[in-house]
Amino acid sequence: MAKDVKDLSGRVLLIAGNRLSENHTKIFRSWGITEVCTESEAAPKDPEKKMIDTESPEYKKAEKELQDLFRYTDMNNPVVKEMFQLSLERKILKMSSS
């Protein structure tokens, strides 16, 4: 783990530096944890996927357009949040390839 995993009230469930196991993921789900920050020991699975510069004009433009499209959704919902993030990545890639 790159960072400590904490529940919604701030209790530490797993300290940074530990390896993530299947049992950990089950525990995290039961505590409502949907995302964790991990460190990768291997190369990225998708070599085509690039890091996105959150300060770039393309990012800002795409984020603004998508915020307008997602304005009536619950952005606190993990599924909606993930859909927004995937849409943002796709839109940025599309913008940069045009």
Cβ–Cβ under 8 Å, residues 66 and 95: no
Higher pLDDT: 62 or 45? It is: 62
pLDDT digits (tens, 9 = 90+) for 50-97: 567 778 888 899 999 999 999 999 999 989 999 999 999 889 888 877
Average pLDDT over residues 29-49: 69
Cβ–Cβ under 8 Å, residues 28 and 13: yes
Among 19, 20, 15, residue whose Cα is nearest residue 3: 15
Q: At residue 41, does pLDDT exceed 60?
A: no
Q: At residue 42, does pLDDT exceed 50?
A: no
What integer pLDDT is reported at residue 70 of this predicted model? 94
Average pLDDT over residues 25-46: 74
What is the rounded CA–CA span in Å between residue 15 and residue 96?
38
* 12 phi, psi to nearest 5 deg: -80, 125
pTM of the full predicted structure? 0.48
What integer pLDDT is reported at residue 46 of this predicted model? 56
Q: At residue 8, does pLDDT exceed 90?
A: no
